[in-house]
């Protein structure tokens, strides 16, 4: 090719539109935010709520130290997001793992899994749940857990007092199970809930 002659044109696709670029940035932002939430939960699981800082969570997520403050202005804002995500994850897991018409024993098996296979994660999420007792700004997010559990328990009773008792029984069984040397199994949990719900 002589100097001054045009060279071959590189084979490239159409240039990304501003909309495509924006969508890509939004998706990357969602992924990073999700990484930070998962990382925060792992920090709580390993070392407790007191260990949650923007720097610790960003390091756990493998992101720059300033990444946390970009998505969450304060640590409390991050904790609210973690609790909210956990409540939605719980509701989604219940819908995904239980059959369309679950029995109390199906639900009890799911709860027993939280005390055994997912024990560390359950401890972390209960620590966040209980933190709302001290921090009012966390309470609306923490109450999402109760809403998700209540939605499921309402399949077996519509009586308000019975539902409150069943929710209290669920909390008690899980909290006591977390400190027990031998956590209750599905049969024990089912028996308690069947008694409370009058089934």
> Is residue 4 over pLDDT 60?
no
> Is residue 12 over pLDDT 90?
no
* Residue range 115-123: mean pLDDT, rounded: 90
Identify the helix (H) or strand (E) that includes residue 88: helix 75-97
Q: pTM for the complete prediction?
A: 0.72
Place of tokens 């639900």: 107
- Say how many residues make up the chain: 199
**Cα dihedral 146→151→153→158 (10° resolution):** 110
Residue 22: its pLDDT value, please? 57
pLDDT digits (tens, 9 = 90+) for 64-102: 988 889 899 999 899 988 888 888 887 787 777 677 788
- Cα separation, 75 vs 73, in Å, equals 7
- Cα separation, 137 vs 192, in Å, equals 33
> Is residue 13 over pLDDT 70?
no
- Cα separation, 58 vs 67, in Å, equals 6
């Amino acid at each position: 090719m002589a100097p001054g002659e045009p060279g071959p044109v590189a084979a490239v696709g159409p240039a990304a539109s501003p909309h495509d670029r924006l969508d890509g940035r939004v998706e990357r932002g969602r992924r990073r935010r999700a990484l930070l939430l998962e990382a925060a939960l792992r920090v709580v699981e390993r070392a407790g709520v007191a260990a949650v800082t923007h720097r610790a969570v960003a390091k756990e997520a493998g992101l720059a130290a300033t990444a946390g403050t970009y998505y969450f202005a304060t640590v409390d804002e991050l904790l609210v997001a973690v609790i909210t995500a956990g409540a939605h994850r719980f509701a989604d897991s219940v819908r995904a793992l239980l059959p369309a018409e679950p029995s109390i024993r199906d639900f009890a098996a799911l709860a027993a899994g939280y005390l055994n296979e997912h024990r560390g994660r359950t401890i972390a999420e209960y620590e966040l749940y209980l933190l709302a007792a001290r921090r009012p700004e966390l309470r609306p997010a923490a109450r999402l857990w109760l809403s998700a559990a209540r939605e499921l328990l309402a399949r077996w009773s519509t009586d308000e007092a019975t539902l409150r008792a069943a929710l209290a029984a669920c909390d008690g069984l899980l909290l006591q199970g977390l400190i027990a040397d031998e956590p209750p199994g599905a049969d024990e949990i089912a028996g308690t809930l069947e008694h409370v719900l009058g089934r």
